[in-house]
Amino acid sequence: MNHNQIQPRRRDLMADCENCFGLCCVALPFAASADFAFDKDAGTPCRHLRSDFRCGIHAGLRDNGLKGCTTFDCFGAGQKLSRSGFRGVDWRKSPESAPLMFETFPILRSLHELLWYLSEALELPAAEPIRAALRESLEETERLASLDPERIANVDVAAHRANVNALLLRTAELVRAETLARIPPSRRRKTYGRGADLVGANLRGADLRGANLRGAFLIAADLRGADLSGADLIGADFRDADVRGANLAGGLFLTQAQLNAALGDAGTKLPPAFARPPHWSTGEYEFKASRRK
């Protein structure tokens, strides 16, 4: 990851576990499933959380049935709440602060996720017609995220998310329209739609430029060599999707968590703000196809 290519605002929205009180390992619940090897209640520390707030099996999470942990991203909410919201006093030293800390964490995480998307939207040339509205929305989201923990706990994050999502949807429509306009009508492919069921779909080498994959179920889909530039990927489920050799560099509203859930390789094209997950293949998938125009 080249941090010099990442805008300063988005750098602050990247998780820094070294400066967090292990909030995702305590505040959030999970149930035994394909992603988690056991049940854990909200507010209960994970059995693998060490006294220094680090994971005792971090390097082997996937091998120990905790793949879900590797696909979680707090968007920097953990360190902000730990170091700023509670001034570096952790929930072990101050048990009375734990309930508020754990209640606030998912709310702040949601606000930071919205900041990630809004920051990206503001950088997109196609979003010029709504840039003022996007900037206003980002400033309001930043204001809410900067409140003290007691006030953050009372934020109606669902209502605020609905307002932001309307702008993000409009942004995606503008970018997708611009992307599709560059593709000759005879070469355009199906663009799908919101929440498309593409579980296990064979999309190998597919031209998905400008596709609407918002909230799409791409679980275990074969996307090897596919081109997703200009596609709306917000909320798309990439669990075990094969993106080896795929072009995700121009995908809209992609997150590190989505990449961590997928299976890629050295040939997967990524935006500069993302790290190649350690479980990805170090080799490069070879896809032979005619060059798209």
Question: Does residue 9 sit in the same domain as residue 91?
Answer: yes
Q: Please tell me whether residues 141 and 20 are part of one structural domain.
A: yes
> Which one of 178, 200, 230 terminates a domain?
178
- Residues 223, 262, single domain; the answer is yes
* Cα 184–Cα 189–Cα 194 angle in degrees, nearest 5: 125
277 pLDDT exceeds 80?
A: yes
pTM: predicted TM-score of the whole model, two decimal places: 0.91
On average, the pLDDT of the chain sits at 92
* pLDDT value at residue 286: 73
CATH number at residue 227: 2.160.20.80
The total domain count for the chain is 2
Report yes or no on 254 lying in a domain: yes
Residues 164 and 88 in one domain: yes
Those residues whose C-beta lies under 8 Å from the C-beta of residue 79, and which sit 6 or more positions away, are 15, 16, 17, 19, 20
Q: Are residues 233 and 154 in the same domain?
A: no
pLDDT in tens, 154-168: 999 999 999 999 999
pLDDT score of 60 more than 80: yes
Same structural domain for residues 191 and 110? no
Q: Give the pLDDT band (50/70/90) at residue 104.
A: very high
Cα separation, 74 vs 13, whole angstroms:
8
Euclidean distance between CA atoms 78 and 37, whole angstroms: 23
- Judged against a pLDDT cut of 50, whether residue 10 lies above it is answered with yes
Residue 173 included in any domain: yes
Domain holding 20, by residue range, is 3-28+72-178
